[in-house]
Structure 1
């Protein structure tokens, strides 16, 4: 089985027998965008309130901390269920070897623009 990671199609896979599958990444992009905008709103609200009180270096509000933790948990759950589905597919087809595409330099020296940066930059690619 070979796997290739992307942005809109988070994971594309192909088996040795010719069958293939795609796991969409749009739900993850939507999740990141929602949390980025919500966190930004509450963070600016908190900063404005603290600035009105004369706080020079505002602290992160509890609400923003909770939102960061909630996003982390939802992303973790999404990626875990996707990886579990890939492993189940591999077991069903009797696959012993999984080959993963190279992720080094996937976002280096790219000028995405303002709109594309909102969707692509928050995604974490960790190559080990």
Structure 2
């Protein structure tokens, strides 16, 4: 399958979490927000949509982590999610999960699987 370059590793020097907006080819009027999170040199990518009420998790750009930067936090109702698995362990959507996206790291870039994104992005839009 195809891979889309979405980020540079050095984007994470200043912040451990970043927001990226992508266009879905079938729905060009509905941009899709993703979050990329770095934890101990590993990278995790999720759709930026809380499974509780369907809102984006952040209120400010790139701000997805709690104060200790050990978990992802939804700023609307305080749900907290594991960075590694996307699973909610605290708050209003316990045992639900963020929608994870397949990525790979090559040299200094992070790539997103186009087929995985195309398939899962509909869950963001609808």
When normalised by structure 1's length, the TM-score is 0.24
Instruction: Mark the structure with the bigger radius of gyration.
Output: 1
Larger fraction in strand: 2
Larger fraction in helix: 1
When normalised by structure 2's length, the TM-score is 0.25
